[in-house]
Structure 1
Amino acid sequence: MAQRRSHGLVTAVISLSLTLALSACTGDRDDDAAARSASPTAAAPSPSPSASPSASPTVKRSPIPEKMNLQRTTGIGGVALTFDDGPSAWTPKVLDALKARGVKATFCVIGSQAAAHPDLIRRIVAEGHTLCNHSWNHEFKLGTWSTAKVRANLQRTNDAIHAAVPGVPIKYFRHPGGNWTITATRVARSMGMSPLHWAVDPQDWRRPGAGTIANRVIRGTRSSSVVLMHDGGGDRGQTLAALPRIITTLRAKYRLVRLPDAL
């Protein structure tokens, strides 16, 4: 009897031990699951890749200027100062500054401005400067137009210049903003005008200060450089103030020349 009771007790103890062990294991698994559920990293599904921004419309860009054989240098050794977007109220002051220092330059004129200020076109020519066609009204996208429309725009500009000074040579065309296209260069050349770019751009139209304009021109200029500045399109007081230093410094190293009328 005692043996049966002892055997039963042992059996009960073993059974209880097994139950507790199984319960502990189950509890461990539940705790692990709870921990995973509480963990953002484990519980959250893998994030999907961020949606790509909407692709910008494909823009057909013109070949870089070097691929179009644009004129960036004078070809005659000297440095050329060029002035865009006139004639304007600032043009006489720029002309005065050039005349006082015996410098000839090249003026890339807007057709509508030439029509409004024929007297200034006449003065530019009378004082020995070269003229350049800079479109009728500074149309940035001119080169994207049809060949016929580009030609009409350039011809209208030339006609306005010739209304002021009949027969004056116009051997250069500069595209507004430098936004050159094959169409623009081809039309310009077919009209006897060289596509005129530049080698130095101080971005004087941003009005960064006369000192900055002068520094950018002086540091960027090399022999035969074509330098871009502006005598129209806004307040050109800083450009005017920078001119004396630009001229004095460049002339100590280079000849300052106008671009030739004959190409």
Structure 2
Amino acid sequence: MPGQQLRFCKMSGAGNDFILINAASTPLPRDPSALAVALCPRRTSVGADGLILVEPSERKDADVRVRFWNPDGGETETCGNGTRCAARFALIEGLARDEMMIETKASDIAAYVSGPLVTLRYAIKPSLTPDLSVTGPEGRRSGHLVGVGVPHLVVQVASMPDGAIEPICRPLRYARELGEAGANINLVEIIDRHTIRIRTYERGVEEETLACGSGSLSSALALCAAGQLESPVTVETRSGSMLTVRFQRETDGSFSQLELKGPARIVYWGEIADSDLPPLR
């Protein structure tokens, strides 16, 4: 894209920050993964937890198509806070109305935008493996493995650690019991039956993020299945922002009507010349 300006929007979904680009109107390099690697590093580039491309869907039953890349260049199937940011971005860019259907690799997600608040409603049926024993740096740990398009291991703690969680979570993220791709790791402290506190180590970012939408959703579902929570669940994220998770527990123990609500804030709009981009591999 010689001589072009790459227009983007920096957004924050409860502390999860992303670089969003309108793929329908912005010239892009052939390899979006290389663009993610170039733009997501902090201090030396724009800096973000991920890159999100938004464009009109080619399907008649969806409004926009959204794709997600982690800072390491890996494409991920879905992202809760990223999808909420994408919904508000699509409305601002004129790609959809305030009620829209979003196509992602994992599933279709309905989104409802009301100013800076965005609510997602999922049709996906989550998978749940309770009380999975995994190998950690301090021996065996038990957690609940949840799939909501991406895998999350939910580990309950009596009280949230004050310091860095990477020494605890990084070995668990690669635990052999979680398979070759591993999983995101969520440390969760229960405050009461409708409130939890969470800290999440995200794969692809390979460190703690200030919030994780799919991690919040997974944690609420896992601990409800364990008999410790009831809908609705308020989730206090590392950033201090609150997310709200709602769901219906069916008589057979399964979950339906999954909902994630929270803020999606515009940080700034920017442009970067292709000549100023870090080298694309």
> Which TM-score applies when normalising by structure 2?
0.29
Greater share of residues in strand: 2
- Which gives a bigger RCO, structure 1 or 2 (Cα 8 Å, sep 6+)? 1
* Larger helix fraction of residues: 1
**If the length of structure 1 is used for normalisation, what is the TM-score?**
0.30
Structure number with bigger Rg: 1
